Amino acid sequence: METEELTLLIDKYLSGNANAKEKAIVEKWYELVDSHNSDMATERIEQYKAETHQFLSQYIGQQKTADKDPERNLVRTITIYRWLGAAIVLFTLTTGLYFYYNKQANTHVAAINKPLINDAAPGGNKATLTLSGGRKLILTDAKNGIVATQGDIAINKTNDGEVIYTGSQQADAGQTDAPIYNTITTPVGGTYNLKLADGTEVWLNAASSIKYPVVFKGSERLVELTGEAYFEVAKNKAMPFRVKSAGQTVEVLGTHFNINSYSNEQWVKTTLMEGRVKVYGNGSSALLLPGQQSSYNALANQTIKVLDDVNLDEVMAWKNGKFYFAKADIENVMRQLERWYDVEAIYTGNRPTDHFNGKIPKNVNLSQVLKVLELSGVHFKIEGRKIIIR
């Protein structure tokens, strides 16, 4: 079969327009991916070796990996939404893995998923709201509209699954009454968006929480974060916005930034997209400009470090519904999968030394992500809520 014919056939399959015979042909290719360690699979891969170059040229063009390491100058290249065709590109593998994400992946990749006995569905819009008196509301199950009130403030859940605080009270630097606090917590495999009383928007990543006053009073707007969140802070020069997380404090007036403060990550990372922020920790401080990132480890008693020219797409991938691996080791990859699929990574034998690069949509089952990662030579097995790395 010529590469162009195979490509058209895969497109028909993914779009749901293939007939029974065409489906059977494409599914044969799927079986080949599953059995790529067998001798027969190796022979078939060699047979299509020449066609692979044409396939890559058609869909990737002249793009080249930025990795100049001579030991990894041939990077594993796979087009995600056509990963059924991965059987014809397996021979190009060396070390590492590079995915070129296509915007059609979100809608088409699910069409090729074959259900497994052991699998895990992707996470979604899930969170719990804890009110000032301790009452808990499962926001996932709550109906749209007003879900609770705190003083004169109404807490609304929108059709988009966002929580918004509205009411007659306004944030006022002159008010000194004790604030009323709420907390929103996302579980493993959950994300959520909320709008605070001052208009600040917050996006919470999985396994995270934020504690905040329903109305900001006094001389500052102070919130407390665990895990990861992205902030778009409403401007108010009279009341600086401050975020406390894992031994550091970030101070802003109005800006866009991301904080990653998971307890199982070595560094607390604050990344600035727009405006300016000042980061304090362990007696040191740093002023960040757009595109810069601070790293801080309170437990190691270290001072704040600032990195320039940070990959903002990588930082914001979680909010945009993607995994983005940039020279990530297996532990980094597994921590992200654990948080999103509510699983535990178990390593048997020596840990793989591969480094992974690329993007994968997060709205697919765990098995699909692992099948793509397996093309690097690392092998996985799902047992209940565990991923066995072999």
**Topology of 124-312 in CATH?**
Jelly Rolls (2.60.120)
pLDDT of residue 11: 55
Residuewise pLDDT in 10s, the chain (390 residues)? 444 455 566 556 555 677 777 777 666 655 554 444 444 444 544 444 444 444 444 433 433 343 444 333 323 333 333 333 343 333 222 223 444 333 333 333 333 344 445 789 999 999 999 999 999 999 999 999 999 999 889 999 999 889 999 875 444 444 557 789 999 999 999 999 999 999 999 999 999 999 999 999 889 999 999 999 999 999 998 999 999 998 999 999 889 999 999 999 989 999 999 999 999 988 899 999 999 999 998 777 678 999 998 999 999 999 999 999 988 999 999 999 999 999 999 999 888 888 888 888 999 999 988 988 887 778 899 998 999 998
3 state DSSP class of 6: helix
Closest CA to 205 of 221, 223, 187: 187
Distance from C-alpha of 256 to C-alpha of 200, rounded to nearest angstrom: 10
pLDDT of residue 353: 87
pLDDT of residue 6: 54
| 180: its two tokens | 């009323």
φ, ψ (nearest 5 deg) of residue 355: -120, 140
- Whole-model pTM: value is 0.73
pLDDT of residue 56: 41
Radius of gyration of the chain (CA): 24
Domain 3-112+321-389 has CATH 1.25.10.10: no
Hey, where are the domains in the chain? 3-112+321-389, 124-312
Residues 6+ apart with CB under 8 A from 109: 80, 81, 83, 361, 364, 368
Distance from C-alpha of 291 to C-alpha of 360, rounded to nearest angstrom: 23
pLDDT of residue 103: 33
